[in-house]
Chains A and B, each alone.
Chain A
Amino acid sequence: MKIPEIAQLIKAEICTKKHNPETDILSACSADLMSDVMAFSKSNALLLTGLVNPQVIRTAEMMDIKAVVFVRGKKPLESMINMAEEKGIALLATDYPLFVASGKLYKNGICGRGE
Chain B
Amino acid sequence: MSTIVRDYTIPANDFTIAGEASSSVRKILSQLGVSPDVVKRTSIAMYEAEINAVIHGNGGMAHVEIDKNKIYIRISDEGPGIADLNLAMQEGYSTAPDSIREMGFGAGMGLSNIKKNADVLDIETEINKGTIVNITVFFKRE
CB distance from B30 to the nearest CB of A (A): 11
* A-binding residues in B (CB < 8 A): 15-16, 18-19, 22-23, 26, 36, 40, 43-44, 47-48, 51, 91, 101, 103-110, 112-113, 116
CA distance A61 to B113 in the complex (A): 16
- Return B55 CB to nearest CB of chain A, in Å: 11
> Do B40 and A63 touch (CB < 8 A)?
yes
- In the complex, A101 Cα to B104 Cα: how many Å? 20
The B interface, classified by DSSP as helix, strand, loop or mixed, is helix
A66 nearest CB across to chain B (Å): 13
Residues of B within 8 A of A51 (CB): 103-104
Does B15 contact A54, Cβ atoms closer than 8 Å? Answer: yes
Once A38-B113, A54-B16 are accepted as A-B contacts, the answer to whether A62 and B104 lie under 8 Å apart by CB is: no
**Contacts A33-B104, A33-B107, A35-B48; A62 near B26 (Cβ below 8 A):** yes
A35-B15 contact given A62-B22, A62-B47, CB 8 Å threshold:
no
Give B44 Cβ to nearest chain A Cβ, in Å: 5
Which 5 pairs, one residue from A and one from B, show the smallest C-beta to C-beta distance?
A: A35-B109, A58-B19, A33-B107, A35-B107, A62-B43
CB-based contact A55/B105 at 8 Å: yes
Residue among B18, B91, B105 with the most chain A CB within 10 A?
B105
A20 adjacent to chain B (CB < 8 Å): no
- What are 6 A-B contacts defined by CB distance under 8 Å? A33-B105, A35-B108, A53-B104, A56-B104, A58-B23, A62-B43
- Is A64 an interface residue, CB under 8 A from the partner? yes
Which of B19, B43, B110 meets A35, CB within 8 Å? B110
